[in-house]
Amino acid sequence: ILQADGGNYSACVNAATLALVDAGIPMRDYVCACTAGFVEDTPLADLCHAEESGGGTSLALALLPRSGNIALLQMDARLHQDHLDPLIEAAMTACKGLSKVLDGVVRQHLEEVSVLTRD
C-alpha cells in the first residue's frame, strides 16, 4: 500500500471481488465492503483515517448487495444497541451504491474487451 487513508480492509475486499470477476470466476453477486462509524452522533460511511482513529466505534461490513446477506460484520469497540441499526444501515447503503459502480465498471470493461477481441 503506497498511501492509506482508512478503509484498507474494505478496499482489499472490493479489489478481491474485481479480481475474481476479471479472472472469469462466476459469482452470483459482488462482495462489497465499507466501513461506518459515528462522527458527532451522525453515522458516516467510508471512514477516512482520522475518522477511524477518532476513538469512536468503527464497523466493517461486507455485503452481498442483491440478496442483502451480510458476509462480514466486525466492530472494534462496544456500541449501544440503539446505535447499531443506523450504523449498519449507513454501511449497507454505501455497499449497495458501490455495487452499482462496480457493476458499471465491469460492464464497461467487458464491452471494451469484446470490441478488442472482435478485430
pLDDT tens digits, 13-39: 999 999 999 999 999 999 999 999 988
**How many CB atoms within 10 Å of residue 17?**
21
Q: Give the contacts of 64 (CB within 8 A, at least 6 positions apart).
A: 28, 29, 30, 31, 70, 71
Angle separating helix axes 81-118 and 8-22, nearest 10 degrees: 30
What confidence tens digit (pLDDT) does each residue in 36-91 have?
998 888 899 998 888 887 777 889 999 999 999 999 999 988 888 998 999 999 99
Question: For residue 38, what are the β-bridge partners?
Answer: 43
Report yes or no: 57 and 76 within 8 Å, Cβ to Cβ: yes
The larger pLDDT score, comparing residue 32 to residue 119, is at 32
- Alpha-helical (H) ranges within the chain are 8-22, 49-52, 81-118
- Provide the CB-side half-sphere exposure for 17 (13 A, CA): 26
Residue 104: helix, strand or coil by DSSP? Answer: helix
